[in-house]
Structure 1
Amino acid sequence: MGAALTRYRVIAWIVGVVLILLVVVGMPLKYAFDNPVVVETVGPAHGFLYMIYLVAAFDLSRRADWPLKRMLLVMLAGTVPFVSFYAERRVTAWLDRPVTRTPEPVAS
């Protein structure tokens, strides 16, 4: 599961940076200065990268056996600026936490 987590973390950061670039730089340029060049180039790149993000999040969620709600929330994190960074930290914390299991009772 370590490789799936690494793949997810890398693509979460990439999607987050590209989305911030699109929203913070591209949108103001397009709507305030009538210059859509950043939106026209970064927008499709974000869409493609977001699909890779979805695949990585799905792969990780299946390997970690997450409930459907958690998987969907992590997948949606790539659509809101800055949230993918938060989700990446939370996911890493969930998966790096040592698993504590209750010992099985010994049959006599």
Structure 2
Amino acid sequence: MKGLFTAYRVLAIVVGVLLAVCSLVALPLKYLATEGTSLQQFGSDLSVLWVVHGWIFMIYVVVAFFLSRKAGWSYGFTIVALVAGLVPLLIFWVERQVVHKLKVENPDLEPVA
């Protein structure tokens, strides 16, 4: 389970960073910056990160699901963990909750802070 746990943590951080950059930087620049400016073009260029986020998010969902089954999470906690990558910044809070929950239930994991 340690490998699954490590994969989950890495994927959660990557998905969270990509979603934050896409929704808090690329999206506003693309649609709110003045048409034709370099800022608007930069936001448009960053929009490719949505595709990257989508692919990595699918891998995250699979890993989080397997981790949830292995750890015996409730259905509610599993659903929150699975959809956390769709709400900007929520995934960082959920990742901390997962680390705390697994650390309490499996002291031998000793997750890295």
Please say whether Structure 1 and Structure 2 have the same fold, judged by a TM-score greater than 0.5: yes
- Spell out structure 1 runs of 4+ moving beyond 3 A: none
The aligned counterpart of 1:61 is 68
Summarize deviations over 1:26-66 as a string: whole Å, max 9, x none. 01111012432211x10100100110110110010010011
- 1:1-108 maps to which residues of 2 (within 5 A)? 1-33=1-33, 34-35=40-41, 36-39=44-47, 41-98=48-105
Report the CA distance shift for 1:31/1:77 in structure 2 as closer, same or farther (over 3 A). same
**What's the RMSD between the two structures over aligned residues?**
1.2
Structure 1 residues 20, 91: closer, same or farther in 2, change over 3 A?
A: same
- The secondary structure found in structure 2 opposite 1:88 is helix
1:88, 1:16 → 2: CA distance? Answer: 10
Q: How much has 1:19 moved relative to structure 2?
A: 0.4
Find the aligned partners of 2:58 and 2:103 in 1 and give their Cα distance: 25
Using the TM superposition, name which of 89-98 and 10-19 deviates more: 89-98
Please give the secondary structure, in 2, of the residue aligned with 1:97: helix
Pick closer, same or farther for the CA change 1:98–1:64 going to 2, 3 Å.
closer
Number of residue pairs matched by the alignment: 98
User: Letter of the aligned partner of 1:27 in structure 2?
Assistant: L
User: 5+ unaligned residues in a row in structure 2: which ranges?
Assistant: 34-39, 107-113
With 76-85 and 7-16 compared, the bigger mean Cα shift is at 76-85
Structure 2: how far apart are the matches of 1:78 and 1:67? Answer: 18
- Structure 1 stretches lacking a partner, 5+ long: 100-108
Change (3 A) 1:73 1:98: closer
